[in-house]
Amino acid sequence: MNERLLIVEDEEKLARLLADYLKAAGFDVQRLSDGRGVVEWVRQQGPALILLDLMLPGRDGLEICREIRAFSRVPIIMTTARVEEIDRLLGLELGADDYICKPYSPREVVARVKAVLRRTVPPPPATRGSLRLDPDSLRVSAGGQELELTAVEFALLQTLYAAPGRIFSRDRLMDRIYLDHRVVSDRTIDSHVKKLRRKLAELAPGRDLVHSVYGVGYRYEERDPADPDE
């Protein structure tokens, strides 16, 4: 099945050209040219990736990006005609996955889309893992139970869960969750992890899944509850 991408771009010719290239690369492509209605469309259709123009009629790309991030981790590539805008956008920490400056070559955009998808596609469910993570709804389930996480908690769990046993430093986790380094302290990560652990304890009582490694960071590991080695 082809992955569905959304192009939000008000320059008709550009949008069409880009859509052609992406279709040729095997994607299913949808286009929207007005900022209004984008968030709703994304909520309903759940695209695999969004190319989002910054300056749009109706609503600007910044607002749209923020609003989408409140409920979804879908990869977003922001496009802008002003190279100097990119620094500002980076400073805002919108949670976009990449930025592309116009004019761009459609070929370059296709390459970036593929790179972002490769980077962000959730790993296939680990056979030894017992959780199910749904990035679209930010829900995690285990043994018929299900609960909803915040976007930050979900990103943390997704990172740890993708590599069971591997220790992630707080810095690495911060990079993964796209928080602003200037205002985020180690303690912020700790407090998000704490909340995550509390929720996981509800989901899988008696099983310690996210482990703190003193002075280093965190790792995910499932152990037999009967295993005394902890």
Given the rule CB under 5 A, which residues bind Ca ion? 10, 53, 55
Residue 178 corresponds to which amino acid?
Y
Residue (56 or 156) nearer to Ca ion, CB: 56
Residue ranges of E strands in 22-173: 28-32, 49-53, 76-80, 98-101, 132-134, 139-142, 145-148, 168-169
Smallest gap, in angstroms, from Cβ of residue 61 to Ca ion? Answer: 8
Give least dist CB 37 to Ca ion, A: 16
Q: Which residue is nearest to Ca ion (CB)?
A: 55
Q: Which residues contact 157 (CB under 8 A, 6 or more apart)?
A: 131, 133, 140, 149, 196, 200, 210, 220
CB of 55 or CB of 100, closer to Ca ion: 55
**Shorter beta-carbon distance to Ca ion: residue 78 or 204:** 78
34 vs 108, which CB is nearer to Ca ion? 34
Find the shortest distance in angstroms from Cβ 33 to Ca ion: 9
Q: How far is the CB of 81 from Ca ion (least distance, A)?
A: 7
Please tell me the distance from the alpha carbon of residue 72 to that of residue 139, in angstroms, as a whole number. 11
